[in-house]
Structure formats: C-alpha cells, structure tokens
Structure 1
Amino acid sequence: MFISITIVLVNVLALSVAKNLPQVGANNAELGAQYWTDFSRIALQEAYQSKPVLNRAKNVILFLGDGMGVSTITPSRILKGQLRNHTGEEARLAFDDFPYTSLIKTYNVDYQVPDSAGTATAFMCGVKTNKGVLGVTGRVARGETDCELVHKNSVSSILKWALDSGRSAGIVTTTRVTHATPAGGYASVANREWEAWIPYQSNTQSNKCKDIARQLVENEPGANLSVILGGGRRYFLPDHQTDGPNGEKGLRIDGQNMIDKWLQQKRESGLPDHRYRYVDSRQKLAAVDYSRTDYLFGLFNGDHMSYDRERDATIEPSIEEMTDAAIRVLRKNANGFVLLVEGGRIDHAHHENHGVMALHETVAFDRAVELAVRSVNLDETLVVVTADHSHSLTMNGYPKRGTDIRGINGNHDDNGVPFTTLMYGNGPGYQHDRVDPSTVNTSNISDLKYRNVAAIPLVSAHHGGEDVALYAIGPMAHLFRGTQEQSYVAHSMAFAACIGQFKNSDYDHCNRSSSATNISTTFFSSYLIISFIFISFQLI
C-alpha cells in the first residue's frame, strides 16, 4: 500500500513538472540549479530510506515486453509524454518508478543474438537453451524428431511450480497463446513453429510428441491454468472448420477441436458450468462474473491479436483489460498466483520496421503495468518488467528537446538530406538510395505503419543482442541487481515466492507473513508529500 502511494506521488510530481514545460525547450525552473538540486534530493531521500521488502511473495506478475530493449523504452517514454502534449523527455513509464533494476544477458546457448523461444525457456524455466526450442535443455536441437530425447530433456516452468505449491497460474498475451513466449510457460517442443501440428509425425495423435496447442489443453501445467487470454484461435480448430466472419479455416490436421476439448475436460472434472468460461470477444469478456469464474479461456483472434491502435474494440480487449480480467480470476486463490503478461506485438512491429507502431504497443503495455500496480498489494506481490531481447532500433541525430519522436529530427546528413530520429540496423525499411522523408507523400512519417529506414535489407528485421533492462518492485525485488543471466529471472521469482526448488526451503522469508509492512516506506511517503509540495510551489 505504502509503496503504491510512493509511486503515485512520484508520477504526480513528474506530471506537475511536465505540464509546466512548453512543447519545445525547458521551462524557467529547469534553467536554474535549484530545480535539479531539489529534484535529485527527493530521489536521494527515496534511495536512502528505501529498504527491501523481505516478505514471501504471495503473488508474482512477470510483464514481458517482447523486443522491448532499452532503445525501445526510451522513445516510448517520450511518446507517452508527447501524447499528453508535453515535451516527452521528462515523462515516466509506470515501471520507471520501480526501485530495483538489473541488466539481463539474453544470448541463447547456440546464438549470440537470441530468439523468443530460447529466451522464454530461460526466464520461465530457468534454463538457457538453443534458438527455436521451448521447454527443453540445450541437448535438444531445433527440429529434433526423437520424442524420447525431447521428453527426457524437458524442463518445467514457474507456472508449474506455482500450481505445485497450491497457487493459481495464468498467461495473457497479445500474440497467439501458442506463440513462443507464452508457450515457454507450458510446452516442451523441439520447434517453436509446431503450434498446431508436428510435420514429421504420421500419427498426429501421438502422446509422446504433441503440438503446442495440444500441450496447452492436455498436459501439465497448461490444462490447469486458471487464465489463458490472447489470440490464435485457428490453432485450436480443425482444418474443416471455419473461424470468424472471414471464413478462414482452422489449422489442425488431426481433426480435433481443442477449444471443445478444454470445455469437455472442465465439465468431466466435475466443475459446475459457471466455474469455467470460454470467451471469444471483448463483450463476452466484459460479461464474465469473476466472483463465480475459476477458469477463463479467451481467444480473441484467429491469429495474433491486432495492434492496439488498430483493434476492433467490440471484439478484441486491450492488454490492459486482459490483465485486469486475469488478476480478478487469479487473486481469488488465498495461496496466491503467478501470472505472465506479454506485450508480444512490440516485436512484430519492429520486425516490419514500423517504429511508431512499436512505441504505441509499448505505451499500451505500460498501461497494463500501471493497472496491475494499482490492483495488487505490493507488500505481497512481486512485479517484474523486462524484455526477452532487443531490436536494432536506434534513436539518433541530435533532435532538440520536445521534437516529435516519430518525425524528422531537424538535422541533415552529409548530402543535405533530412532523416528521422528513429532508424533500424536492418529490415524491410532498407533504401538503396535514401529518400528524403520530408518529401514522401504516400505515408506521413508519424503514421502507425510508416516504415523507418534500415541500413541492411532483410524481409523481416532481426533481433538486437544487447542486454535488456529488468525492473522490479515488491517482495524480494532487491534480488534483481547487477548484470545477470536470463535464467536467473525464473529462479529469483521462484525464490521470492518459495516455490519450485525453494518450496520447502527454510529461508526466513518463506516463513514470514506476506502482508508485513515495510516501515521505511511509511516514513518515505510522508517525506515525499512534503518535498512534492515544496517543489510544486517553485513551479507555479
């Protein structure tokens, strides 16, 4: 509670500063030394008074921005501010106020620059592995056809560790629920692309090697997840059945309807009908009675969900709304829960060199983080925000303060041609002879799908390999510090919650109440209120 108050006040302070700034340039207060001295004094006092929350984490929420490297976070923060008619640079994302940060090394066992399957296995299962495989060790090569080898080298995820400890678990994603990041929480498979079938198997009903959708419905931990929300409906439907108004066929060649099977399994388990719900639209999600619903399965698109700025709001909920629904279902478990929330389409926009769209997806993702922070008790809930990998996006060119992050930065190259602040190292935005973006009539450079220029031609942009940032708040958040391997993320969250290998451990926090109050946050909240009032008067 007190941590929440602190976050609110810091955000109010940031907005108070921002609203006094003109669209370009600094305000008068910023031009003097006292402004920065006072601002820094508050930050120093927060750091000085802050102490770790040493309780056991009853709940864990992992927010994963797919492709959300630091080079995406910075311009997204600026866009968030500029969308509120501020200069932008002074804005703050919800997770900017988290007290603990770390850098995470993202390489796969076999590649310097990773893919989302190998990284998902690392941060969900605590084991680094090869590019393109899910839920297995590095002994399994991508495309391995030996089911016994895959089974022998399978690893479990933090979602299963949560279920084994009596907690609930769930996933929320803006991609297909069978896509790499969410699948890292429940599937063991030698190729991330085997979402609806396994090509080499003549017997598609094999119980040894199952496609990802089957594993979600039939296997542990997928079959017992309390929440599954995202896209990918066609991957659960047989190829003789059409999906939605466009009449696209399902993708399953085994003739199974896995949605019906999920409903059948819940019915056969003895659950009353009102205790489990399948929904396929935003309206149906809004009609869910959360007081009576223990299991919620929602597929809102035949493929990936639409970009937030392009979605049909009558059909597809936002990531913020799905996060809210998930927390409402999961928090009914008195033992707690573990939830994965993925902003997956940040990555997809980057692959297309649609830099503006990627930033908007990040801002939408940030709203989901803000919603979660408001909805939970941070004395008992560990919230972690990070990325699986980065992208080759750059922010460059000496733009002046307040320059539209989506546009031309006001400078010119050596040939006198202007250029945009956002660019890519590779991708479909490559131009052999670079076009002056100010003369392009077919697409405004601030449009959602304007294709930013790229240095190297590729049909789909490749990932970036630099470390990604991790932000944490709540019980045991102080474990995230320094530079860590990506596999460390899963084990640290498990340690904080006393699950998995730490389920029966004798660490002090595992026997300490999750609702204990951190006294230092109480003191700091009072101090911050006084400091906030002091600075606000200077800005009037």
Structure 2
Amino acid sequence: MRFLKKLSVTAVSSIITLSVVQAAEPTPADWFNAGRQTVIDAKHLRPNERQAKNVILFIGDGMGISTITASRIYDGQQKGGHGEENSLSFEKLPYLALSKTYSVDQQTPDSAPTMTAMVTGVKTIGDSVSVNQFVAHSEPNANVIEVNKLTTILEQAKQHGLSAGVVSTARITHATPAATYAHTANRDWEGDSDRPVGATVPDIAAQLVDFNINGGIDVALGGGRTRFIPNTATDPEYGVAGKRKDGRDLTADWLKKHNAQYVWNQAQFDAIDPNTTDHLLGLFEPSHVHYEADRLAHDQAGEPSLTEMTVKAIDILKKNRNGYFLMVEGGRIDHAHHSGNAYRALTDTQQFAAAVQAAVNNTNPKETLIIVTADHSHVFTIGGYPQRGNPILGLTQGVGATTPDLDLLGLPYTTLNYANGTGYTGASNAQAEGSKSFTTPATAAWASGSEGHNPTSFSPASGRPLLDEAKVEHPDYLQEAIIPLGAETHAAEDVAIFAGGPKAHLFHGIVEQNVIYHVMAEALGFDRPDGAHEDKPSHRGK
C-alpha cells in the first residue's frame, strides 16, 4: 500500500525517534534543540567498567548498513510516519563501531570465517568453522581438526561454569550458529551424510548434541530437523525422510541430558516451563525456519518467532547464578537478500530488532553486555532522489513530484536495488517466472498472473520492465539487479557493531572483526593470551 504524502509525522524528540504521531512537522528550532539534547545526553554517558555476568551476541546475518537504513524506514512507515526519523531498537544502544569483515583469503567473505572471527578472536579462511587458517578446506581427518581448532567464547563460557545457548532462524547447524560450538573445515558438513566417505571429523549436528563441556549446550533453537534424525525415520511435520545414515536419532540422544526437552512445534514450545527445563532443543523445520512474513500463514504446525525463542532461551539460561552466553542469529535476512527480495529482508530485520528489544527488556544493563552486529553485508542499495516519506519499497518519486521519476529510457525505477542477483531484467528470465530460486506460495500465484499482476511485462526480451506500485510493493517482487546471477552475493564493506552494558565502551572506531571476541572475553573476565587453545579452569562464581 502506498503511503500518503501528507501524513502527519512525529515531532523530533531528543533522540530523533519516531514514537507518537504529532500534528505538525518539526520546526527548525525542534531540529536544533533535538541535536543539542543528543550532545547533552552524550556528556552524561558513563562507561560501565563492571565485569559482565552475561553476554548476548546478536548477529543479523547479512545485515549491512543499507539493510539497517531501509529496515528503519520500512518499520517507521509501518507505524504511520515518514520513516527516516525512526530508530530500530538496537540503534539506541549507546556504543558503536565498524567491523572489517574480510577473511584470511576472501575480500568478500562468507559467514563461516566471519563468525569464527567473532567467537574465537582469530580470522581464518573461507568455509572454515572455528579452525585456524592452516587447515585445508574440507580436511577430513579429525586429528588434524583437533590440533588446529580454535576455542570459542561459548566453549569458554561452559568451562567457566556459565550456561550457553544458540538461537537462529536458519538451520541450527548453519555456519553462523555452528561456529559457536563446532569445529570443521567445511561448513556444509552439517549432517553425517554431507561428509565424504572416509571422513572422521564429526558432522556439525553430532558436534552440537555431543558437546560435553560441563553438561553440554543448554539451549539450541532453530531449524534443521533432518540432520538430526535417521533416514529410516520421517519428519513429524512434513513426512520427509531424515538425512542421517549412521542410524542415530540425535533428538533422542539430546533427551539423555539432565532435565532435557525436545520440541518441534509452537504448542510444545509454549508448554516448556523454563523453571523445570535445563536443556532445550527446538527444531522447528526440516531446513531453515520460515521467513517472518510467512511464518504464521504457511507453517503447518506453528513455530515460534525469533523474539519468542530469544525470551525462552534467556528464561532458561538466567537460572545459572554464574551467568550465561547466548548467541541469537537473524539468519534469514541473508537468505532473502540472496533471493533478491527486499521485502523479506526488511521484515526479518524488523523481527530481529524486536528480539533485541525483548532481550533488553528481560536483562539488567548493569550486568549484561548486549552486542548487535552482522557477519557481512550484501550488494543492496538505496538510491535515486526520493522525497522524504517515499515508500521505501516503492518507485522513486522526487521532492514535489506527482509522478514517479523516470530513467533515460522513460521508465520508472525503485529506490531499492541490487548490484547483482536474480532480478536482472535483460537476458535473465528470473523476473518473468517469479524467480524459480525464491519459492513461496505467494510467488507461484504472482508468477501465474493472479492477484492482479501480469508477469508478461517481465519478458526478458523487453529489457527493463514498466513498473508500477502494485508490482514493486508486492511481497514477492525481486528488485532489479545489474549483473545476472543465480543468487545475489555478499558485499565487502564494513558492518556496524552496536553495544550496551559492561565493557560496551570498548567498541569504538573501525576494528577488525575478531576484536568482537576480545571485548566479550574482557567483559566476562576470561584470559586466553594464546588466542587458540583451551583456557585453564576457572573458579568464577564460587
């Protein structure tokens, strides 16, 4: 739906945050006074030098600066404002830095080495999960992996007597969550059937369940059921076969832990009592969980939101008087971008921000360090000269204009685009077919011409299509791309780090991505000067 140009907007508050719709546009004095108040507030900001009891690391996978900006505007427009003055929850955290995301061998990285850097303090090569740069890609020998593995902040937390949890909207065995607990030279070895014959390094799913430091991982919530059940069993929701060839049912093995529960749907999840559950495994889809935009409408058995999973994890972990480490990933922001679909990238970021707010609401800022960052960016752009309040998913329309701006071919264009990917409108037929690589129930309907959309206008022979608001603001629209690729790629620019709580002030300037680990370790009082091997036992909390 297109936003009206004459909508009332919020008067600027002391932090330029959209809150209550007012009757008038901010005056010059409002802008000036709000800016001055921001400086006054900054002068009263005092670093928290205390040791952290808890650390929550939020990863918006693929959540680059342009994604944050577009999501901020989208969220604000959904609230009825222009959008630009809005702030997402994590943008209100007091400390900020930029993170350089390259890996040892990649200018533009993937999620495995970037997350490895954040949770081990050491940069490594592409596709590697918490092993150092000297391990060859796809190294099958478990002994080699053992010698070259990097100790993670989650492992250290368990060694020090803390609880630990991992939450994701991706498969819980996907690269980002895997790097917190697993060690392998190939991020794709998520289940035993993914490994080559003769490989002795355990698969990622087995490493999660067999994790044996101080009772194991306490909470693991996400997707990826088929990597945990044998190929002789069927998925309880969809009836597809499991993928394990070794005959193990890892969900049953999980239940051997103390006060352990395994859930796979919303009703079971809701029934979990954090007071009586010490170990919780939740696997809500055979692969990744649904995009937030599709979760309620298309999940057969129901699945919790990222916010609900975050709160449940905190409620279980906080029972430990020594504290906890929790990693929460908005994994499907990345997947939507790879598909060239801005709508789902923005709505998943919106849900990610809600999860951060829930964590803020359910923790004490004096004792909990909260960090929000991304592993890498995407080639996602915000361009043209749209007027303030122009629908962020819509056609570009300039200040004072009554019709969309036109390119040199006389055609309108969108504010959001991609530098490469499935939305190429020249030789690619991705737009004409609704993108075979991006499948949702709504996509098929759109491609077949239902809901008032005519896919014939996306003929590959016609070059740029004649766009209208109905097409570009449809949830399944794929923004145009310059370079035709089967999937849009990551980007190499720096990403943001937002932080609040104990030692959060240590984030400043432009830093290497592996510095994130070192701030967390400093905050928790961990000491690992070698940066690679096991820490000595701790008497923390005793």
| C-alpha contact (below 8 Å) 1:61/1:382 kept by paired residues | yes
Q: Which amino acid aligns with 2:329?
A: E
Q: Secondary structure at the match of 1:358?
A: helix
**Matched residues in 2 for 1:413 and 1:201: separation?**
51
Alpha-carbon deviation of 1:246?
A: 2.5
Q: Secondary structure at the match of 1:349?
A: helix
In the alignment, which of 471, 478, 483 is matched to residue 451 of structure 1?
A: 478
In the alignment, which of 243, 266, 272 is matched to residue 251 of structure 1?
A: 243
In the alignment, which of 325, 329, 332 is matched to residue 345 of structure 1?
A: 332
Matching of residue 224 in structure 1 with residue 224 in structure 2: no
Alpha-carbon deviation of 1:256?
A: 1.2
User: Which residue is 2:124 aligned to?
Assistant: 129
Q: CA RMSD in A?
A: 2.3
Q: Secondary structure at the match of 2:528?
A: helix
User: Which residue is 1:527 aligned to?
Assistant: none
**Matched residues in 2 for 1:222 and 1:201: separation?**
31
User: Which residue is 1:49 aligned to?
Assistant: 44
Q: Secondary structure at the match of 1:309?
A: helix
Matching of residue 406 in structure 1 with residue 393 in structure 2: yes
Alpha-carbon deviation of 1:255?
A: 1.5
User: Which residue is 1:529 aligned to?
Assistant: none
**Matched residues in 2 for 1:223 and 1:118: separation?**
27
Q: Which amino acid aligns with 1:428?
A: T
Deviations 1:409-439 (A, max 9, x none): 1222111111001000110111115433525
Question: Does 1 or 2 have the higher relative contact order (CA < 8 Å, sep 6+)?
Answer: 1
| C-alpha contact (below 8 Å) 2:230/2:243 kept by paired residues | yes
Structure 2 matches for 1:326-337, cutoff 5 A? 326-337=313-324
Q: Which amino acid aligns with 1:456?
A: I
Q: 1:12 to 1:103 in 2, by over 3 A?
A: closer
Matching of residue 418 in structure 1 with residue 412 in structure 2: yes
Return the structure number with greater helix share. Answer: 1
**Matched residues in 2 for 1:78 and 1:475: separation?**
30
In the alignment, which of 212, 219, 231 is matched to residue 239 of structure 1?
A: 231
Unaligned runs of 5+ in 2: 1-11, 398-404, 427-461, 531-537
| C-alpha contact (below 8 Å) 2:119/2:517 kept by paired residues | yes
User: Which residue is 1:506 aligned to?
Assistant: none
User: Which residue is 1:462 aligned to?
Assistant: 489
User: Which residue is 2:59 aligned to?
Assistant: 64
Deviations 1:100-151 (A, max 9, x none): 1000000010010000011111101111111111010011122123332222
Q: Secondary structure at the match of 2:251?
A: helix
**Matched residues in 2 for 1:10 and 1:225: separation?**
43
Deviations 1:186-225 (A, max 9, x none): 1110100000026565457x4xx10100111113459611
| C-alpha contact (below 8 Å) 2:254/2:260 kept by paired residues | no
Q: Which amino acid aligns with 1:438?
A: L
In the alignment, which of 248, 252, 263 is matched to residue 279 of structure 1?
A: 263
Q: 1:60 to 1:500 in 2, by over 3 A?
A: same
User: Which residue is 1:181 aligned to?
Assistant: 176
Alpha-carbon deviation of 1:11?
A: 9.1
Deviations 1:342-386 (A, max 9, x none): 000000000000011100000000000011101100011000000
In the alignment, which of 16, 19, 22 is matched to residue 20 of structure 1?
A: 22
Q: Secondary structure at the match of 1:62?
A: strand
State the identity as a percent. Answer: 43
Structure 2 matches for 1:371-520, cutoff 5 A? 371-410=358-397, 411-432=405-426, 433-439=462-468, 444-501=471-528
**Matched residues in 1 for 2:477 and 2:325: separation?**
37
TM-score (norm 1): 0.85
User: Which residue is 1:325 aligned to?
Assistant: 312
| C-alpha contact (below 8 Å) 1:216/1:222 kept by paired residues | no
Alpha-carbon deviation of 1:160?
A: 0.7
- Range with greater deviation from structure 2 (218-227 or 291-300): 218-227
- Range with greater deviation from structure 2 (277-286 or 319-328): 277-286
User: Which residue is 1:78 aligned to?
Assistant: 73
Q: 1:426 to 1:51 in 2, by over 3 A?
A: same
Unaligned runs of 5+ in 1: 1-8, 22-26, 504-509, 514-540
**Matched residues in 2 for 1:467 and 1:376: separation?**
29
**Matched residues in 2 for 1:341 and 1:221: separation?**
20
**Matched residues in 2 for 1:221 and 1:422: separation?**
46
Deviations 1:255-280 (A, max 9, x none): 1111111113x1xxxx3xxx221111
- Range with greater deviation from structure 2 (222-231 or 369-378): 222-231
Alpha-carbon deviation of 1:406?
A: 0.7
Q: Secondary structure at the match of 1:259?
A: helix
**Matched residues in 2 for 1:481 and 1:92: separation?**
20
Q: 1:425 to 1:10 in 2, by over 3 A?
A: same
Q: Which amino acid aligns with 1:436?
A: P
| C-alpha contact (below 8 Å) 2:372/2:497 kept by paired residues | yes
Matching of residue 292 in structure 1 with residue 294 in structure 2: no
TM-score (norm 2): 0.84
Alpha-carbon deviation of 1:499?
A: 2.3
In the alignment, which of 285, 290, 294 is matched to residue 306 of structure 1?
A: 290
| C-alpha contact (below 8 Å) 1:186/1:220 kept by paired residues | no
**Matched residues in 2 for 1:289 and 1:198: separation?**
34
Alpha-carbon deviation of 1:12?
A: 9.3
Alpha-carbon deviation of 1:502?
A: 7.9
